[in-house]
């Protein structure tokens, strides 16, 4: 869907869902085919099996679950399976915004790694998806990293580690989405400091020993 929105304005795509579904399905299939052409070239040139994909327009804040099931899920599934066929490994997936209504669908598609936006609870995602999916996230990139204080950053890292680090399939601390331009260097330094201090002794499925340092 996000690739299609880079070709055709999103307002037209949303209109197509009602007025021109056949045309939209053709466009979505084209996007899958060309994306897989790129993956084949990338894999051939580099040998890398590590593919990450972001599909921000798939968020249920825009599509809702009904249109996700009709217009996004079938093509997302084709893309995921195609990448696995080419590289031997399923890709990591990031979807911006609200995704809780489609967590079950992502598991049905066999998503093994999912980057979760900060508007969702990583603790809830862990309970729903944790036995099957590796999770990453989800410090707020704007409210905390860009606009917060050093203490805000440290406290957000601690909370994220406390909420998600014992995910059974593993957890990688990261921001919920892309960090914006203008984020203070001091906040980057605070993030690294907090990860090193409170994330030390990390093991899959266990909270890191560093969290014992929290007062």
- CA atoms of 12 and 17, how far apart (whole Å): 9
Q: 174-202, pLDDT tens digit by residue?
A: 999 999 999 999 999 999 999 999 999 99
The reported pLDDT for the residue numbered 49 is 85
The reported pLDDT for the residue numbered 50 is 86
pTM of the model: 0.89
Ordered strands of the 134-136 beta sheet:
52-54, 92-95, 113-116, 134-136, 171-172
CB of 173 closer than 8 Å to CB of 198? no
CA angle 133, 137, 140 (to 5 degrees): 155
The reported pLDDT for the residue numbered 29 is 98
CB of 192 closer than 8 Å to CB of 198? no
Q: 43-94, pLDDT tens digit by residue?
A: 999 988 888 999 999 999 999 999 999 999 999 999 999 999 999 999 999 9
- CA atoms of 184 and 93, how far apart (whole Å): 27
Supply the Cα-derived Rg of the chain in whole angstroms: 19
């Amino acid at each position: 869907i996000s690739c299609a929105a880079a070709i055709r304005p999103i307002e037209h795509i949303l209109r197509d869902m009602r007025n021109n579904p056949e045309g939209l399905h053709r466009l979505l299939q084209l996007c899958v085919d060309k994306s897989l052409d790129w993956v084949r070239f990338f894999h051939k040139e580099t040998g890398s099996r590590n593919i990450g994909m972001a599909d921000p327009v798939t968020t249920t804040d825009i599509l809702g679950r009904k249109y996700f099931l009709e217009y996004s899920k079938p093509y997302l599934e084709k893309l995921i399976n195609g990448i696995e066929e080419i590289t031997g490994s399923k890709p990591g997936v990031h979807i911006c915004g609200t995704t809780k209504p489609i967590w079950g669908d992502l598991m049905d598609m066999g998503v093994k790694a999912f980057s979760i936006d900060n508007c969702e609870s990583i603790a809830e995602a862990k309970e729903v998806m944790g036995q099957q999916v590796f999770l990453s996230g989800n410090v707020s990139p704007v409210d905390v990293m860009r606009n917060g204080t050093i203490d805000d950053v440290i406290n957000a890292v601690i909370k994220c580690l406390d909420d998600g680090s014992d995910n059974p399939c593993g957890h990688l601390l990261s921001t919920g989405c892309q960090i914006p331009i203008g984020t203070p260097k001091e906040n980057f330094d605070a993030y690294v400091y907090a990860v090193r201090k409170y994330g030390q002794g990390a093991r899959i499925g266990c909270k890191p020993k560093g969290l014992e340092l929290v007062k």
